[in-house]
Amino acid sequence: MSELDFPLPSGYGWQYHLLLWLQSFHSPILDQVARAVSFTGLEWFYMLVLPVLFWAVNREIGLRLTYVFLTSMYVNAWTKVLFHVRRPTGVPGIRTDFASSASGLSMPSGHAQGTLTFWWMVGAWAKRRWLWFVVLVLVFAIGVSRLYLGLHWPLDVLTGWAFGLAFAVVGWALGKWWSYRSYSFSIRLTMAIAFPLVLLLLHRDSTSASYASLLLGIGSGAALEERWLNLRIDPVLWKRISAAVIGIAGLIAVQWLIKWPQDTVFWEVLKGLLTGLWGTLLAPYVFELCGLYKKKDAD
C-alpha cells in the first residue's frame, strides 16, 4: 500500500484504496447503473412500499415490516451521530456522485442497513428460494453502488449490513411472537405509545426523532383502529388498488400541508405523528367510508 500525502483516520488506508479500485472501473454506463441501483435503496421507496403493503396486501405483515424497518432506521440515524464518521466526499482521488446530497455522516450506511432489514424480512415472509437469491443480489448491489459512487466507506456498508441483518432476524422473530399474543387493548396501546416515547427521549437529531414519531403514530393508530373500527382488506383487486391510491394521496397531502421549517425537531415529530396516524387509523376509516374495507365480523 503506497503512502498517502494527505491525512486519513487510522485504519482507513485499505478502505481508501478499495474505493480507488472500484472507481477504476468507471464508465458512463456503470455510472447510470450504479445510480439506478442506489435509487432503489432511498427512503422514499420504502415509505411508499410499506404503506401499500399494509393497505392493500397484508395488514399484519405490513405493520410488522414497518415497525422493524423504522426501528432499524431510527438506530441507524442514532448511531451515525454516535460514530460521527464523515463521508469520503472531498477526499483526494475519490470521485463522489450526488455530491450535493452527500453531506453529513455515513456510518452505518442507511442504504445497506435499510435494504437488508426490509428485503430479508420479505424473504422470510414469502419463503421462496428464488426470492432469496434476488434479495442477496439486490442487497449486495446496493451496497457496492454506494461505494462505487463514493458516498460511503467500506466499513459503513459492512456495519450497515450487520445492523440490518440483526434487526431483520430479531425483529421478524419478535414480531411473529407478538402477533400470536392476545394482549388486551390497554396493554397494546400502552406498548404502542411507550416504546416510541422512549425512543423520542433518546433521539440525537431530527432524523431519529422523525422515525420515533412515525412509530408513535403508526402503533397508536393501529391499536385504536383495531379497537374502534376492526376493519379488513377487501379481497377484490380493484378495491385494493383504490385503497393504495387513496392512501398514497393522503400521505402526499400530509407532507404538503406541513411545510413549516423542517429544521426543528417539533415539526419533524408532528409530521411523523400525523403521517403514522393517517397510515393506520385515518386511511382505513376513509377506506371504509368509500366501501373499500369491511368490518372483520361482516359477512
pLDDT in tens, 205-243: 788 888 999 999 999 999 999 999 999 999 999 999 999
Flag whether pLDDT at 299 surpasses 60: no
Flag whether pLDDT at 158 surpasses 90: yes
pLDDT at 4: 55
Of the chain, the percentage scoring pLDDT greater than 90 comes to 47
Look up cell 441507524; give the residue: 76
My answer on whether omega of the bond before 108 falls inside 30° of 0, hence cis, is yes
Same domain, 56 and 171: yes
At 244, the pLDDT band (50, 70, 90 cuts) reads very high
pLDDT at 287: 95
Cell of 83: 460514530
Helices (H) and strands (E) in the chain, counts: 12, 2
Same domain, 222 and 150: no
Is 166 a member of any domain?
A: yes
Give the pairing of strands 293-295 and 231-233. antiparallel
Is 20 a member of any domain?
A: no
At 204, the pLDDT band (50, 70, 90 cuts) reads confident
Same domain, 175 and 225: no
Same domain, 237 and 281: yes
Flag whether pLDDT at 296 surpasses 90: no
Flag whether pLDDT at 182 surpasses 80: no
Cβ atoms < 10 Å from Cβ of 15: 19
Please name the residues in contact with 256: beta carbons below 8 A apart, sequence gap of 6 or more: none
Of the chain, the percentage scoring pLDDT greater than 70 comes to 91
Same domain, 210 and 296: yes
**Mean pLDDT within 181-204:** 87
pLDDT at 199: 92
pLDDT at 100: 45
Cell of 50: 410499506
Same domain, 160 and 212: no
pLDDT at 102: 47
At 257, the pLDDT band (50, 70, 90 cuts) reads confident
Same domain, 217 and 143: no
Is 256 a member of any domain?
A: yes
> Considering 181, 214, 230, which residue would you say is the last residue of a domain?
181
Calculate the average pLDDT of the chain.
87
**Mean pLDDT within 289-295:** 92
At 260, the pLDDT band (50, 70, 90 cuts) reads low
Is 236 a member of any domain?
A: yes
Q: How far apart are CA 70 and CA 121, in angstroms?
A: 13
Instruction: Collect contacts of 100-106 with beta carbons under 8 A, ≥24 apart.
Output: 102/150, 102/151, 104/80, 105/80, 105/81, 106/80, 106/151, 106/152, 106/153, 106/156
Is 195 a member of any domain?
A: no
The total of structural domains in the chain comes to 2
pLDDT at 27: 87
pLDDT at 2: 47
Question: 18-57: per-residue pLDDT in tens?
Answer: 988 988 888 889 888 888 888 888 888 888 899 999 999 9
Decide: 220 and 277 in contact? Cβ < 8 Å: yes
Decide: 51 and 60 in contact? Cβ < 8 Å: no
> Considering 181, 215, 244, which residue would you say is the last residue of a domain?
181
Cell of 275: 403521517
Is 268 a member of any domain?
A: yes
Same domain, 38 and 168: yes
Q: Which domain holds residue 223?
A: 203-299
Flag whether pLDDT at 101 surpasses 60: no
Same domain, 219 and 286: yes
Is 197 a member of any domain?
A: no
Q: What angle do CA 222, 49, 132 make, to 5 degrees?
A: 110
Same domain, 125 and 70: yes
User: How many Å separate Cα 45 from the centre of its chain?
Assistant: 8
Question: 58-91: per-residue pLDDT in tens?
Answer: 999 999 999 999 999 999 989 998 888 888 887 8
> Considering 114, 148, 181, which residue would you say is the last residue of a domain?
181
Instruction: Find residue 86's DSSP bridge partners.
Output: 105
pTM for this predicted structure: 0.89
Same domain, 170 and 217: no
**E strand segments, the chain:** 231-233, 293-295
Flag whether pLDDT at 7 surpasses 70: no
Flag whether pLDDT at 98 surpasses 70: no
Same domain, 128 and 250: no
Flag whether pLDDT at 5 surpasses 60: no
Is 149 a member of any domain?
A: yes
